[in-house]
Structure 1
Amino acid sequence: MELEAVSNEHLGRRLRELRAESGKSLRAVARELGISPSAVSQIERGLMRPSVSRLIAYVSAIGVPLAAVFDVPEHKEPRPGLAVRRAGEVAPIRLSGGVTFRRLSPGPTPDVEFFESTYPPQAISNAHGQFLRHEGYEVGTVTAGELTIEFETEIVTLSEGDSITFPCSRPHIIGNRSGTVTAVATWLIVHA
């Protein structure tokens, strides 16, 4: 059973909680993102859905990994060195343009994030056309459709089964140029 995507309100509430825990003010985050405090407030109240790049910039600005946005399942009896997450325990996050992120790792893992991203036809990671850069090293494999990763000096198109790796500090935009086929990829982001 697949869970419904996290609502805008739930995502906004979680981002607000994480910002508060970080000690950063709404204005400070707005300044770092290069947007108005009103826009940050709209995201945190669930009135505006962020793009992939805006979400990643937001969590970078408050110093938390993307995985922190996902709720951790109710605490169960821990098993030393073992974590299990059953299908349907963590809801995906739907971002602007219909892009969906789903955490694949069974729980928080130090210095590593493991996600699946789904890009519907014509969806891109940043509707504003600005290149994204963040911390870490990215490894991705396309599991369905085609994704295009645009760098400042080149464009790489990946088909099903193709993989890529690059430093996240290299400015990039990820998109699905197909008009009819949804693209899906798994991503491993290493922060060590």
Structure 2
Amino acid sequence: MENIDIGKKVEKYRKEKGWSIRELARIAEITPSMLSQIERGLANPSITTLRVVAKALDVPTFHFLMEDTPTADLVVRAGQRKKMVIEDLAYELVSPDFTGTLGTAILQVPPQAASSEKLLAHKAEEVAYVLEGKVKVYLNDEAYVLEAGDSVKIPAQMTHKWENDFQQPASILFSVTPPAF
């Protein structure tokens, strides 16, 4: 929790409202001195104080307690994607990692390759979009041929697999929630 600066967040929300320290202090019914100390990081507010400040600012209290993520960590350059190769399949992470509640990757399926021998299920829900090529997706006992521009939603626990029995490689962009491999 080292990236949390409650005071800076209070100041940011206060300034977004166009309020002075005195105005927010009056609305929140705390002293301007206390509010100034909180904003400058010289005092940590009690939960009670944080709640009244949050209510005055019309911001959920938990927003003040969330860690800040450096924005540079959110950008993934095309040539710097994390890659994983499993047998003939290659995965490139589009999201920075598979932490959090959503992960996105590109699956490269070469001709005459499949994601598994048999249908598998997992706890994650997926949405997949075919970027290029053609690929067969098995959903339970049904098979569907998807071409570039086609997409599919795969509910959690549904058995499925990808298979490319065509002549060209296929690229599939997919998002998974929660991230699971």
Q: Same fold (TM over 0.5)?
A: yes
Code of the aligned partner of 1:102? E
Q: Report the alpha carbon displacement of residue 156 of structure 1 after superposing the two structures with TM.
A: 1.2
Q: Note if 1:90 corresponds to 2:81.
A: yes
2:119 aligns with one of 131, 150, 165: 131
Q: Report the alpha carbon displacement of residue 169 of structure 1 after superposing the two structures with TM.
A: 0.7
Say if 1:116 and 1:89 are closer, same or farther in 2 by CA, change over 3 A: same
Q: Report the alpha carbon displacement of residue 131 of structure 1 after superposing the two structures with TM.
A: 1.2
Count residues in correspondence.
Answer: 112
1:140 aligns with one of 125, 128, 153: 128
Distance in 1, matches of 2:107 and 2:89, equals: 7
Distance in 1, matches of 2:176 and 2:136, equals: 18
Distance in 1, matches of 2:108 and 2:152, equals: 16
1:110 aligns with one of 100, 109, 112: 100
For 1:185, the equivalent position in structure 2 comes to 172
Equivalences for residues 35-74 of structure 1 within 5 A: none
Gaps of 5+ in 1: 1-77
Moved over 6 A (4+): none
TM-score normalised according to structure 1 size? 0.53
Q: Report the alpha carbon displacement of residue 152 of structure 1 after superposing the two structures with TM.
A: 2.9
Kept in 2: contact 1:83–1:107 (CA 8 A): no
TM-score normalised according to structure 2 size? 0.56
Kept in 1: contact 2:102–2:175 (CA 8 A): yes
Greater per-residue strand proportion: 2
Q: Note if 1:167 corresponds to 2:158.
A: no
Q: Report the alpha carbon displacement of residue 107 of structure 1 after superposing the two structures with TM.
A: 3.6
Distance in 2, matches of 1:90 and 1:181, equals: 23
Aligned partner of residue 106 in structure 2, secondary structure: strand
Say if 1:83 and 1:170 are closer, same or farther in 2 by CA, change over 3 A: same
| Cα root mean square deviation, aligned | 2.3
